[in-house]
């Protein structure tokens, strides 16, 4: 049901499921969103919970569902493949075709290796860079999120600020020694980044970067400065395109921003909503994944579901839809309208806030100022953001904790519904 009220129905069935979740799951969740929401189904730009409440969905499964939920072409492709088998642990036609499609689309891609998640993709991107350079250290940017592997979970959400280039662990359970293998630089500060890379050029195996860091777009010249210094010293530059790949453009952020890395990690969209990740890059670097030729420099990378055919056909169908004329134009137009609606509602409310991001992916940070890096964005009022998200959810708008994802399935009617909710909730915060 649509939402004209700021209260949702909760059925006995949903309450029962929430009770089971709290009993059998740590924190009552799958480890993602801290919410008692239990989704039953999704269609196009909407989802329904088990109590029958409909939501305009700007969460989109944390981004993969850029063509909307249960797109008929994706469903048809997956249904046909499942009837032929779910996994084989050998090459399969769909996986080979998807690798070819990635090579055709992505500027840096000469070879592709599949995995199952974005966290694996960034992990193996760093591993292959270390194998290529025969060095250990990786530089990342403070606030950059590169998944849940031990090397990535450094200085993403630091609880204390330390001097660059020192790293701090984001979670318990990581060996303390790994802090010494990660160097950290400030995002959007080309002078600082170049200086750190120059100083540590003999130790660095690679530099990993979200080209659009969470919500923060790169300033003009920043990515080029990082590209130039890494190229000068022949240090592989890795773009984490788990979020931006096939979202900002068909060729990813490297196409959108015009800076080409040596390696890129993909996930989310590339699997069409199914578990699939990919590492793509220069042939000479990717050759270290080839056991038959790499010798002692072989970077081991195997997985039961690598190139899974069900995920591959979903990815192929999704990319086919995206590359059609008008897909990105619609995505950006809808995203722009939503951004303007959100900015306008917040401005009217008088609440200090800044809308940050690009049209297909953005959100509000409840602070004023130029949001150029993690330390600037960390000034945001987390309490206000939590109230804002809860207010939207009560009015039938579902979003991530700190992101609004847009799909090509969203409509003008969805924008209008969101605009009303933005205005109502912003007013309540003032």
CA-nearest of 319, 225, 221 to 278 is 319
Q: Is 328 a catalytic residue?
A: no
Please give the Cα distance from 127 to 88 (Å, whole number).
26
Catalytic pick from 111, 133, 137, 268? 268
Name the DSSP class of 152: T
Q: Is 240 a catalytic residue?
A: yes
Contact 228, 260 (CB under 8 A): no
Contact 396, 56 (CB under 8 A): yes
SS3 129: helix
Catalytic pick from 49, 189, 240, 414? 240
Please give the Cα distance from 138 to 127 (Å, whole number).
10
Element (H, E) at 418: helix 412-429
Number of C-beta neighbours around residue 224 at 10 A: 14
Catalytic pick from 145, 151, 256, 405? 145
User: What would you measure as the largest C-alpha separation in the chain, in angstroms?
Assistant: 65
Contact 385, 399 (CB under 8 A): no
- Contacts of residue 314, defined as CB under 8 A and 6 or more positions apart, other chains included, come to 74, 77, 78, 271, 272, 273, 274, 276
Please give the Cα distance from 177 to 130 (Å, whole number).
17
Phi/psi of residue 182, each to 5°? -120, 130
Say what the alpha-carbon torsion angle 15, 16, 19, 25 is, to the nearest 10 degrees: -110
Phi/psi of residue 195, each to 5°? -60, -45
Q: Is 145 a catalytic residue?
A: yes
| Catalytic residue positions, numbered | 145, 240, 268
């Amino acid at each position: 049901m649509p939402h004209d009220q700021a209260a949702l129905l909760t059925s006995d069935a949903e309450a029962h499921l929430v009770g089971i979740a709290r009993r059998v799951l740590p924190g009552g969740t799958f480890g993602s969103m801290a919410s008692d929401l239990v989704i039953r189904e999704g269609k196009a730009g909407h989802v329904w919970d088990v109590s029958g409440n409909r939501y305009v969905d700007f969460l989109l499964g944390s981004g993969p569902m850029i063509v909307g939920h249960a797109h008929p072409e994706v469903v048809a492709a997956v249904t046909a493949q499942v009837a032929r088998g779910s996994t084989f642990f050998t090459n399969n036609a769909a996986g080979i075709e998807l690798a070819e499609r990635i090579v055709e689309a992505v500027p840096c891609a000469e070879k592709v290796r599949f995995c199952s998640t974005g966290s694996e993709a960034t992990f193996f991107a760093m591993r292959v860079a270390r194998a290529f350079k025969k060095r250990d250290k990786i530089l990342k940017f403070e606030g950059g999120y590169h998944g849940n592997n031990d090397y990535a979970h450094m200085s993403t959400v630091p609880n204390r600020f330390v001097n660059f280039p020192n790293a701090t662990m984001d979670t318990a359970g990581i060996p303390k020694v790994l802090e010494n293998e990660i160097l950290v630089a400030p995002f959007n500060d080309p002078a600082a980044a170049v200086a750190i890379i120059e100083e540590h050029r003999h130790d660095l195996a690679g530099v990993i970067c979200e080209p659009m860091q969470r919500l923060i777009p790169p300033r003009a010249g920043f990515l080029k400065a990082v590209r130039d210094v890494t190229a000068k010293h022949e240090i592989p530059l890795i773009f984490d395109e788990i979020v931006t790949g096939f979202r900002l453009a068909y060729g990813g952020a490297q196409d959108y921003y015009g800076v080409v890395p040596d390696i890129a990690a993909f996930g989310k969209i590339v699997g069409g909503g199914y578990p699939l990740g990919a590492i793509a890059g220069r042939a000479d670097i990717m050759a270290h994944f080839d056991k038959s030729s790499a010798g002692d420099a072989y970077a081991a990378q195997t997985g039961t579901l690598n190139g899974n055919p069900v995920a591959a056909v979903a990815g192929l169908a999704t990319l086919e839809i995206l590359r059609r004329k008008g897909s990105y134009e619609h995505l950006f137009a809808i995203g722009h309208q939503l951004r303007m609606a959100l900015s306008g509602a917040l401005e009217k409310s008088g609440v200090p806030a800044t809308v940050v991001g690009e049209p297909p992916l953005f959100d509000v940070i409840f602070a004023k100022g130029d949001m150029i890096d993690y330390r600037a964005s960390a000034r945001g009022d987390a309490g206000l953001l939590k109230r804002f998200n809860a207010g939207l959810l009560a009015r039938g708008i579902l979003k991530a904790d700190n992101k609004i994802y847009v799909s090509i399935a969203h409509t003008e009617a969805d924008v209008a519904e969101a605009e009303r909710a933005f205005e109502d909730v912003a007013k309540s915060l003032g």
